[in-house]
Structure 1
Amino acid sequence: MATLKLRGNDLRKLGYPEGRAITLALDILADRQLSKLDKGSALALLQKIKDDPYAYLRDSLWRDLAKEFVPEPSRNVVLNPQVKDYRRYGEAFIEDGARRQMDTAMQLPVTLDGALMPDAHQGYGLPIGGVLAVDNAVIPYGVGMDIGCRMALSIFDLPPRYLGQRTQELKKMLHAHTRFGGKEVFKHPADDPILDRPEFKEIAVVRGKREAAINQLGSSGSGNHFVEWGLVDITTEDNELGVPVGQYLGLLSHSGSRGLGAAIAQHYTKVAMEKCPLPPEARYLAWLDLDTQEGQEYWRAMNLAGEYASACHRDIHRRLSQALGEKPLAKVENHHNFAWKETLPDGREAIVHRKGATPAGQGVLGVIPGSMTAPGYIVRGRGERDSIQSASHGAGRRLSRTQAKQQVSEGELRRLLRDKGVELIGGGLDEAPMAYKDIHQVMAHQQDLVDVLGSFTPRIVRMDAGGSGGSKYGGE
């Protein structure tokens, strides 16, 4: 009988805990009713029972096993009845859904402090634009799916007229040296030291994504990710870039940790939800204690994903700099969808989650984009305490993806692109500029958080032709 070949190790690989659950599963599979199941089907069934035990509680055969995976009521975590006070920037145009999600996050027993940025909109768990400081714990969905997603800007000593004179040449460079979405990869991906990190051997979920990480190195995701040529305007003489006031050619990219980051987020969110059962409205805010093995594993995996995202940007900018035949005068890189160990102003150690929010500590540089037809800003953080040293990571969505597709026509998008002098390669209506908030209004609400050193205005934009997944200037 095929199922008799199953062993305890097969179930442990599915995440079955030692003890009664494994014994019950093997005993039940020995039943004559299941004698015709092959090993693959049996394992698939056991996985379903573990992932959704509630669906099997009325099944007389599997009831006892399913109960092993249903959290005991006594384990449920109770939210604090009061919402801790937190600062909201640009509150008048933050949607109610984002506000409610942040309120819930401020009721977690581990929460120390929080803030909501002016680009905030509703997401899963922590809202996009949410900043949450917690005590000795990390929330996988407080970080998000696209771990370590970031902006990277290279500034070249070439005049603005280069954009107009070499438009076709610059478009060809984007076609030749960038890859987007789930199917496009380089025939010969670059090598990078990140691929030799020990986490690829020591953490199961990471190990399973190494091959994909090799193939996707230097590529960008779908929907919200882009690589674009544009005009950099440095307006502040006193800047850490070492670039004089003036106008330059710029290359800006936005992408994250690809399939590696998504796999890490999905796996450890499930683990957290099993370990930390929360009320329905807070279930995606389940956390992992950093004193546990699972918490330490996630922390290592998250940091690896963030550095992998940086390696992808490094490869994008290397390829295009070589094609251009120019070395950058300066570079700026900043990331969001991450968690940092920091000290709060009152001296408490905290894990600070910035989901769709930019670090803005004293003197920290970053780029805050607008939309494909609106300028982004090169900024320097002011270290504001009330925002937990954070700022927005973009303009933030005004319309959902579905709303954008329903309310914006192809003709409207083409006319706007023509009027703004923007060449678009790929993209979709869900990423139309009309779907985003006014970046000037967003910046007006965070004058206390950052100083503006200059701007970046897009001129040639490449995105995934599929136009799906994430949101360009405010994604998960």
Structure 2
Amino acid sequence: MENKRINGNDLIALGYKENHTLGAALKINSKRHGFTRAEMLAKFKSVLENPTAYTEDTIFSVLAESILGQDVVDATLIPLNEDPVEYTIYGASGIEAGAKEQMKVAMKLPVTVAGALMPDAHQGYGLPIGGVLATDNAVIPYGVGVDIGCRMALSIFDLPASLLDTDTATLKETILKHTRFGAGNGYLKHERVDHAVLDNKLFAENDLLRSLKDKAWTQLGSSGGGNHFVEFGIVEFVEKDEVLNIEKGLYLGLLTHSGSRGLGATVAAHYTKLAKTLCKLPYQAQNLAYLDLNTMEGQEYWLAMNLAGDYASACHEVIHDKIKDALGAELLAKIENHHNFAWKETWNDREVVVHRKGATPAAKGVMGIIPGSMATPGFLVRGKGEMAAIQSASHGAGRLMSRTQAIKTLAASELKDMLADRGITLLGAGMDEAPMAYKDIHTVMASQEELVDVVAKFSPKIVRMADDGSRED
């Protein structure tokens, strides 16, 4: 107990309110300054009760000034609505309380129109991962997410799935040769490829994007760290799909998951900071700061976000084209969908901005891909257009435990046995991406049967992920 970290609930129990003063206290608490936990709590209580006595204190003066000036700060804030807009939760029993609380705060924003929480939801920054939020002419950078335009792409080749058994070495070599992973990693100048996305005029018109163009070129065709992957697997159609014109059977598929790399992360950081400067919200909602689309700043972010999305798509295109050419394969179909993005859509006859932070677009007839984990199946789906879900579905299985918890508690031997039992070759990755760290994909899919129809199943067999400790996801 002595070494247990002091958290916001501890301070609230002392009488602190959930405002910017709480944030100031937590920042001081990041360093114990030689105090024990009990002594630190006593200090926090004393400062709250008599802040004027600490205005000259070397450690607690910032907190004292925050307490004394909180009324002035409160007067400058954009107030939240007292009652949250009602929203639908899918798979509620499997979603942690923190994610639900984050969604509740988002539903109090003055620009909020509607919301939904997908069954893979878990806590994030601002809007929870798996949160869908429709707003009135406003875009929330943290409602989009850090990895702007992160997406799934599936190529179905005219090659038999049996190649995964007969030509395993060749397929493994192909993935290793034509992919590159991890934060900061990319290609040398003589390795780079060209793509039309790099000719976007925004690279010349926007100072921030201009400074990022060389990095974007360097990382074009590469993948991030964390849960990003490139994998070969079996695509199984239990019946002919008339829309895709693919017969019943088993096919070799290539599935990728990655986003806009350093370009998107920098754009997200820049405009989130700008939004927080322009849109002062109460402490509990500060990561939901939004930009009005009628402002210059809002339009700047919107254009930069769309460029980052196009860039993410280009990265997948480069990877898929390289591997298709290396295999000498013909493409039967390619399906792609993205999350961590905002769209202008019509909801109940009203134009809204729909944020899908870790959620898949699922309008009627729209194709999507919902992966499981490195050792569990993913699904090719077709949306049903459910309006209560704002025409959305989950973007995966969703994390069951944090990365830190997974690393501390899961056994490498268990992962090794699971992969061997299922005939899966793993290249890279760490225990934080072990299947046991994720929710059961079948339970998640059962929670959203009214949102999507399953078209085909993808079973991973050769999986490549970052092995350098990257967490760019």
* TM-score, length of structure 2 as denominator length: 0.84
The one-character-per-residue Cα deviations of 1:23-59 (angstroms, maximum 9, x if unpaired) are xxxxxxxxxxxxxxxxxxxxxxxxxxxxxxxx9x989
The one-character-per-residue Cα deviations of 1:324-346 (angstroms, maximum 9, x if unpaired) are 0112110000000000000112x
- What 5-or-longer segments of structure 1 have no aligned partner? 1-54
2:439 partner letter: K
Identity %: 58
| Matches for 1:79-90 after TM superposition, within 5 Å | 79-90=80-91
Please, which of 250, 255, 263 is the counterpart of residue 252 of structure 1? Answer: 255
Contact kept, 8 Å, 1:114 with 1:132, in 2: the verdict is yes
The yes-or-no answer on 1:152 pairing with 2:153 is yes
Q: Please give the alpha-carbon distance, in whole angstroms, between the structure 1 residues aligned to 2:171 and 2:266.
A: 34
Q: Please give the alpha-carbon distance, in whole angstroms, between the structure 2 residues aligned to 1:422 and 1:250.
A: 14
**What's 1:184 paired with?**
185
| Matches for 1:97-246 after TM superposition, within 5 Å | 97-187=98-188, 188-246=191-249
Q: 1:210 is paired with a residue of what secondary structure?
A: helix
Please, which of 359, 372, 380 is the counterpart of residue 361 of structure 2? Answer: 359
Q: Relative to 1, partners in 2 of residues 1:326 and 1:129: Cα closer, same or farther, differing over 3 Å? A: same
Q: Please give the alpha-carbon distance, in whole angstroms, between the structure 1 residues aligned to 2:239 and 2:151.
A: 24
**What's 2:442 paired with?**
440
Q: Please give the alpha-carbon distance, in whole angstroms, between the structure 1 residues aligned to 2:183 and 2:363.
A: 35
| Matches for 1:29-48 after TM superposition, within 5 Å | none
Q: Please give the alpha-carbon distance, in whole angstroms, between the structure 2 residues aligned to 1:353 and 1:435.
A: 26
Contact kept, 8 Å, 2:224 with 2:470, in 1: the verdict is no
Contact kept, 8 Å, 2:184 with 2:262, in 1: the verdict is no
Please, which of 299, 302, 305 is the counterpart of residue 299 of structure 1? Answer: 302
The one-character-per-residue Cα deviations of 1:252-294 (angstroms, maximum 9, x if unpaired) are 0000000000000000000000111111111100000001000
**What's 2:54 paired with?**
none
The one-character-per-residue Cα deviations of 1:169-213 (angstroms, maximum 9, x if unpaired) are 111111110000134323311100110111111112211111100
Q: Please give the alpha-carbon distance, in whole angstroms, between the structure 1 residues aligned to 2:387 and 2:312.
A: 28
The alpha carbon displacement at 1:72 in A equals 5.7
**Moved >4 Å (runs of 4+):** none
Aligned length: 408
The alpha carbon displacement at 1:239 in A equals 3.9
**What's 2:417 paired with?**
415
Contact kept, 8 Å, 2:239 with 2:249, in 1: the verdict is no
Q: Please give the alpha-carbon distance, in whole angstroms, between the structure 1 residues aligned to 2:329 and 2:255.
A: 15
Q: Relative to 1, partners in 2 of residues 1:167 and 1:104: Cα closer, same or farther, differing over 3 Å? A: same
Contact kept, 8 Å, 1:362 with 1:383, in 2: the verdict is yes
Contact kept, 8 Å, 1:337 with 1:354, in 2: the verdict is yes
Q: Please give the alpha-carbon distance, in whole angstroms, between the structure 2 residues aligned to 1:350 and 1:326.
A: 42
**What's 2:288 paired with?**
285
**What's 2:43 paired with?**
none
**What's 2:5 paired with?**
none
Q: Please give the alpha-carbon distance, in whole angstroms, between the structure 1 residues aligned to 2:418 and 2:269.
A: 38
Q: 2:273 is paired with a residue of what secondary structure?
A: helix
**What's 2:18 paired with?**
none
1:375 partner letter: P
Please, which of 449, 452, 460 is the counterpart of residue 450 of structure 1? Answer: 452
1:350 partner letter: V
1:361 partner letter: A
Q: Please give the alpha-carbon distance, in whole angstroms, between the structure 2 residues aligned to 1:295 and 1:229.
A: 40
2:174 partner letter: M
Q: Please give the alpha-carbon distance, in whole angstroms, between the structure 2 residues aligned to 1:443 and 1:254.
A: 19
Contact kept, 8 Å, 2:403 with 2:432, in 1: the verdict is yes
**What's 2:53 paired with?**
none
**What's 1:460 paired with?**
462
The alpha carbon displacement at 1:237 in A equals 2.3
**What's 2:397 paired with?**
395
Q: 1:386 is paired with a residue of what secondary structure?
A: helix
**What's 2:3 paired with?**
none
Q: 1:329 is paired with a residue of what secondary structure?
A: strand
**What's 2:25 paired with?**
none
The one-character-per-residue Cα deviations of 1:43-93 (angstroms, maximum 9, x if unpaired) are xxxxxxxxxxxx9x989xxx9xxx9xxx96433111111111100000011
Q: Please give the alpha-carbon distance, in whole angstroms, between the structure 2 residues aligned to 1:399 and 1:100.
A: 18
The alpha carbon displacement at 1:420 in A equals 1.1
Q: 1:371 is paired with a residue of what secondary structure?
A: coil
Cα root mean square deviation, aligned: 1.9
Q: Please give the alpha-carbon distance, in whole angstroms, between the structure 1 residues aligned to 2:199 and 2:261.
A: 18
Please, which of 343, 347, 357 is the counterpart of residue 346 of structure 2? Answer: 343
The yes-or-no answer on 1:324 pairing with 2:327 is yes
Contact kept, 8 Å, 1:239 with 1:453, in 2: the verdict is no
Contact kept, 8 Å, 2:183 with 2:470, in 1: the verdict is no
* TM-score, length of structure 1 as denominator length: 0.83
- What 5-or-longer segments of structure 2 have no aligned partner? 1-57
**What's 2:48 paired with?**
none
Q: 1:153 is paired with a residue of what secondary structure?
A: strand
The alpha carbon displacement at 1:133 in A equals 0.1
Q: Please give the alpha-carbon distance, in whole angstroms, between the structure 1 residues aligned to 2:283 and 2:117.
A: 22
The alpha carbon displacement at 1:134 in A equals 0.3
Contact kept, 8 Å, 2:74 with 2:282, in 1: the verdict is no
Q: Relative to 1, partners in 2 of residues 1:312 and 1:192: Cα closer, same or farther, differing over 3 Å? A: same
Q: Please give the alpha-carbon distance, in whole angstroms, between the structure 1 residues aligned to 2:244 and 2:394.
A: 21
The alpha carbon displacement at 1:426 in A equals 0.3
**What's 1:43 paired with?**
none
Contact kept, 8 Å, 1:144 with 1:337, in 2: the verdict is yes
1:279 partner letter: P
Contact kept, 8 Å, 2:154 with 2:253, in 1: the verdict is yes
Q: 1:282 is paired with a residue of what secondary structure?
A: helix
* Segment drifting more, 230-239 vs 188-197: 230-239
Q: Please give the alpha-carbon distance, in whole angstroms, between the structure 2 residues aligned to 1:465 and 1:183.
A: 13
Q: Please give the alpha-carbon distance, in whole angstroms, between the structure 2 residues aligned to 1:239 and 1:81.
A: 49
Contact kept, 8 Å, 1:429 with 1:467, in 2: the verdict is no
Contact kept, 8 Å, 2:430 with 2:467, in 1: the verdict is yes
The alpha carbon displacement at 1:224 in A equals 1.1
The one-character-per-residue Cα deviations of 1:385-415 (angstroms, maximum 9, x if unpaired) are 1000000000000010011001112111111
The one-character-per-residue Cα deviations of 1:5-36 (angstroms, maximum 9, x if unpaired) are xxxxxxxxxxxxxxxxxxxxxxxxxxxxxxxx
